[in-house]
Amino acid sequence: MGKFAIINKRERRSLTWLGRLLILVIIFSLILIYVLNIQSFLAHTETVNGNVLVVEGFIPDYAIEESKEIFEKGNYELLLITGKPFEKGSHLSTYKNNGESSAATLIKLGLDKKYIRVVSLNDYQKRDRTYATALKLQEWIASSDIEIKSLDLVTIDCHARKSQLLFQEVFEDEVDIGIISIANRDYDPDKWWASSNGFRTVIQESIAWIYARFLFSPNS
């Protein structure tokens, strides 16, 4: 080509069929690893054998029943229930929030009320509710005469990983946070993708954990 040519010829590199196949295999492998492991990653249990058991008040009744068993079988001295105002039905309920409702359920099941304390948010939080709940719990502990160096937090299913992360962020090194995940009875955890409830739960909690782990800022 001459010095003043308007067309330039360049060498172009492209993937061979083997290269394209290799990329497809890598993508498929990553998707498979995610599908087979994400549920157990999110719904993990890691206790620290604390003297206090904290129960997230929004969990369903069967998880409240299991929480009672966990408390009675463990060496816990106190059961704290976090609460949030009801999103719907508050005008019809005897209780102000789901923490009070869960506490009443535990008492109805036979747990002595002397072991139970409710720590509830006063206002409904539209966002970052788990973090706000952890802050409220920290506030309550600071104002009480109870010394807490470690606690185990009970929640439902795939919410576990995010709850432990945000509670530990609030308490930092002051309190060691363990986590106990109660299995969700609405779907098979080994085939979560096979039901709409399982698919929705795992995908939503995956996104929520990614947000909490990499994007969330308490000052935002």
In the chain, the domains with their CATH numbers are 42-215 (3.40.50.620)
Residue pair 189/40 in contact (Cβ under 8 Å)? The answer is: yes
**Mean pLDDT in residue range 45-52:** 94
pLDDT digits (tens, 9 = 90+) for 153-205: 999 999 999 999 999 999 999 999 999 999 999 999 999 999 999 999 999 99
Identity of the amino acid at 74: G
Residue 117: what pLDDT? 98
Q: What is the pTM of this model?
A: 0.90
Tokens of 196: 């709409």
**Mean pLDDT in residue range 123-138:** 88
Phi, psi (rounded to 5 degrees) for 178: -95, 165
